[in-house]
Amino acid sequence: MLRSLLSAIGAYKIYERWLWHQVKGGVKPEHIAVILDGNRRWASEKDLDPWYGHKEGAEKVEKLLEWCLKLNVKSITLYAFSTENFRRPRKEVEEIMRIASEKLQKIITDERIHKNRVRVKVIGRTNLLPENLQKIIADVERATQNYDKHFLNIAFAYGGRAEIVDAA
């Protein structure tokens, strides 16, 4: 609500610039990890379909990643989709997979990724994902495998319980 109000009066850009000046001169973390949570809840509060929340969340992640590049954060880990999320309604899971496919496909040709030498790695039980998404993941990882300046780890079909089972 505050952002909407500030945007309406044109103050949000001023606020963003102020934040930028606060952060850019200070100590920067080497690694930031983000759990992508609350998209469905956000959409529900606005009487929207859950996948609309996931789409908007993906757009926000893109802005976050851009900010992290500007701040020269070396590593970012996004916990995007847990193995438990497969239990959600089929339509919602399909839409999440579609959004993930779209965003990962975009990474392959994104000049920011190549210019900043960002290596992208997807961790988790990717064998549980649709074949087309598995192929896109392989293409993204192959396209960025020789980069070593920045690292983007995406936890997809990932879960603590699954990790324990896989380790045993």
CA distance 35 to 51: 17
Closest CA to 121 of 135, 106, 138, 141: 141
Residue type, 24: K
The set of residues, in sequence order, having a beta carbon less than 8 Å from that of 145 and lying 6+ positions away, is 119
37 is catalytic: yes
Query: Which residue in the list 37, 72, 132, 148 is annotated as catalytic?
Result: 37
CA distance 36 to 59: 12
Query: Which residue in the list 47, 72, 85, 127 is annotated as catalytic?
Result: 85
DSSP 135-151: HHHHHHHHHHTT--SEE
CA distance 17 to 24: 10
Catalytic residues: 37, 85
